[in-house]
Structures are given as structure tokens and as C-alpha cells.
Amino acid sequence: MSNKTIRTIFILALLCAILMMITQYVWIKKAYELEKNTFHINVTTALKNVAFYILQADNNTSPVDSIVTRVDTKYYTVNINDKIDSTVLVSLLKRELRAQQIKTDFEFSVYDCESEKMKYSGYISYNQDESSKDITRSVFPKNKKQNNYFGVHFPHLNTYLTKEMSNWFFSTIILVLFLLILAYAVFIIFRQKRLSEIQKDFVNNMTHEFKTPLATIKISSEVLKNPQIINNPERLLNYATIINNETTHLTNQVERVLQMAKSGRNTIELNREVLELNPMLQSMLDKTYRPLVRSRGGDILVHINPIDIKIFADELHFKNVISNLLDNAIKYCARKPYIIIDCSEVKDGIRMSFKDNGIGISKENLTHVFDKFYRIPTGNLHDVKGFGLGLNYVKLICKQHGGNIKVTSELEKGSEFCIFIPKFRKS
């Protein structure tokens, strides 16, 4: 599947997820409004019934259609215009509100003709829990337009409505979970795709690295197959040497890949010892790197402070770390390579930085260069060989020593790899 198709699918899935969340939100809001409306209708019906029974007991036949007033969402008044007995009122309220499926506490007050005030009459808990008889609406406002009337207040209306909506919240949680699982699946797909691309690159690189020596061996062996070659011992030796060199090169390559593959187990046994950094580094530079860099018109500068820095490390692996960093500094440089190596003692350890003037690494690639098999396509720098394993190995070795590696880089300007190895920490 191409990157474009995956990206389109991802964007469509994201849009669907956003639409699903918006739809869910709108439905929940609507359901809440509906729940509120149903509550209002049921309370009004219950209160009308209460009024009807009170009036009927007094043989009063006044209509009850517009007897209920909604003062606010939680508070209702019922204008009876007849005397109200609190005991009768409470039992009627309980019965009628239950009949209308109003499953929440309420408190009520009755207008007192003598004091001409609303008098608080009681708190009725839906679960009949006496201990919850606390007054929540301390002042029941008097309605100047009404005479004999009572008020009913629902103090926990919001909690009640939220509880009634629990199914909706449950479905929202399921939806969010589903979207999270979907996001995780998409993440896995992307990761798998990247891994498969990396592996494809690795196989391509391997083939490329082995193709040239194999072709050279084939040509040389064909020359050696010619019986006439026996008459030309110099030529014979020449071709035999080519075959020998190329097989050594191939063996080394295979060995390198095997070593790197072993490092995939994420532990390498270290044989740490105290090493003199300056002589070790200078010998590596003199034998291999200075001649290489100078042949390309560049140079390597070294600062070591103090000059007798000692390092507690595995010699073989530590030398490999330095080689990998120097190899890269030279490989990934399109001009005369100038490399600055800076070694210093810092608190608790040794810091070494390798600064080059190479092609640099872009910000988006910088986070991946330590990943296994990761290689950045080097458009203008052809035929740079590698397996994308070097930096991964370098990082692993630094970590095994209890240290770390950091990189800063700018495209076209160069890169700086900085390693830290703790002084005398046995891991």
C-alpha cells in the first residue's frame, strides 16, 4: 500500500472519529434536554393530580389545568386557592411523584395565611433516609399573586438527570475506547510499514555491498580458469590476490552484520579496563583516519583536556564506537572533511565530541538515526555504503557503559555526536 493511500485512509478515519465524537456530543445534549422536558411534564402531571385530590376532598371543582407554575427548573408552585393540610399534602406528593417515576428527593413548603409567609414543611427523601433531612432551599420565595399555595423544590435535580443518562455515558466510554483502540491499530500499522521499509532497504544495501566483490571474484576466477595463465605467474598472483582480498572483505562484512545482529539482543558482555585515551585515539587516527581524511584534502583536529585522561571501558567496543563515528563523519561529507574531536573530563565521567562539516541531518531524521537499520537517503552523495546499524551499535555500547550519546546537526553545515562515559562505574 502506498504512503498516499495510507495517509488518505488515516485522514478519513480521523475525520470519521471527529464526526462520531461531535454526533455523540450533540445526541447527549439532546438526550439531556429531553430528559429535562420529560421530568417537567411528569412533575407537572404529578402536581396537578395532587391539586386535584386536595380540591376533590374539599368538594372544590375548580379546574387544575393551569394551576402549576414552574418558577425555575428545580422549583414549582401550585396555586390551590383552598386550605392545605401538610400531612395530606406530603402523602399525596409522595404517591403522585412516585407514580410519575420521579425518583429523587424533594422538599416542600406551604403558604402560611397567618404569617403571610412561605413556611418550610419538610424534606422528603426518595429512599426514605431520615438522616438526609437537611434544608437545601432555606427561603421559598413568596408568590405575591398567589394565596393558598404550596411549593415543591428538587434540590438534587442535576444529579438525578445525570444518573438517568448513565446509558449515554456508558456508550460514550465504549466509543472513546473504540477510538483509542483504532488509533493504536493505526499506530501499529504505521510502525510495521516503516519496519518493512527499513528491512527492504537493509536487504537492498546488503545485496549492493555483496554484488561488487562477488562480481570481481567471478571475473578473476574466470581469468584464472584460462590454462594460459600458468605462463604468466605475475598475472596469476595478481588475480589470486584480488580473490583473496575480496573474500576477506566479504567475510568481514558478514562478520560485521552478525556482530550487529547480536547487538540486537540488547546486551553485550563488556570487559572493562582502565584505558589511556590519548595514545589509543592518536594510534587510531595515525593508522587509519588521518591518512584517509588528508587524502581528501581535509584534516582531523584533536583537543584532549587533560592530556592523560583515563577511561574505564571495553577496549574493543570503545574503539568500535570511535571508528563508527569517524567513519560516518568522513562518509557523510561531500566536501573536504574537517573533523574536530574534543575530549574532556566532566563531573563523574568523560565527554567526547566528534564534530564534522558533513552533509548534516535534518530535524525529522535526527530522532531516528539511532534506530536499527535506519538510513537517510543521501540524494547528492552517491554510493555511500552502510547497513544503518552503526549508530544503533554506538548507542548500545554507550548505554552498556552507563553513558549516553547525543547528536546535534544542521543540514549542509555538519553534525556533532557527543558521547558521555562515566568514570569508574562498574556495570
Please tell me whether residue 140 binds ligand ADP under the rule CB under 6 A: no
Residue nearest to ligand ADP (CB): 386
Closer to ligand ADP by Cβ: residue 246 or 356:
356
Of 62, 42, 386, the closest CA to residue 206 belongs to: 386
Number of residues this chain uses to bind ligand ADP (CB under 6 A): 21
| Span interacting with ligand ADP, options 50-58, 241-249, 266-274, 368-376, rule CB under 6 A | 368-376
Least distance to ligand ADP from the beta carbon of 18, Å? 37
Least distance to ligand ADP from the beta carbon of 338, Å? 12
Whats the size of the chain, residue-wise?
427
* Residue of the chain from 89, 391, 398, 419 that contacts ligand ADP (CB under 6 A): 391
Please tell me whether residue 118 binds ligand ADP under the rule CB under 6 A: no
Q: Going residue by residue from 340 to 359, which x/- string records binding to ligand ADP, judged by CB under 6 A?
A: ----------------x-xx
Is omega for the bond preceding 141 within 30 degrees of 0, making it cis? no
Of 69, 92, 73, the closest CA to residue 157 belongs to: 73
* Residue of the chain from 390, 405, 419, 420 that contacts ligand ADP (CB under 6 A): 390
Q: Going residue by residue from 187 to 226, which x/- string records binding to ligand ADP, judged by CB under 6 A?
A: ----------------------------------------
Rounded distance between C-alpha atoms, residue 163 and residue 176, angstroms: 20
CB contact at 8 A, 314 and 270:
yes
State the DSSP H helix or E strand holding residue 244, giving kind and residue range, or none if neither.
Answer: helix 233-263
Least distance to ligand ADP from the beta carbon of 389, Å? 6
* Residue of the chain from 309, 389, 396, 398 that contacts ligand ADP (CB under 6 A): 389
Least distance to ligand ADP from the beta carbon of 4, Å? 24
Rounded distance between C-alpha atoms, residue 74 and residue 248, angstroms: 90
* Residue of the chain from 322, 339, 361, 421 that contacts ligand ADP (CB under 6 A): 361
Please tell me whether residue 374 binds ligand ADP under the rule CB under 6 A: yes
Task: Give pairs for 120-125: CB < 8 Å, separation 24+.
Answer: 121/86, 121/89, 121/90, 121/150, 122/86, 122/90, 124/90, 124/93, 124/94
- Tell me phi and psi for residue 43, to 5 degrees: -65, -45
State the DSSP H helix or E strand holding residue 199, giving kind and residue range, or none if neither.
Answer: helix 166-225
Distances (CA, A) of 108 to 47, 75, 90, 121, 168: 12, 9, 8, 6, 31
Q: Tell me which residues touch ligand ADP (CB under 6 A).
A: 324, 328-329, 332, 356, 358-361, 369, 374-376, 386-392, 415
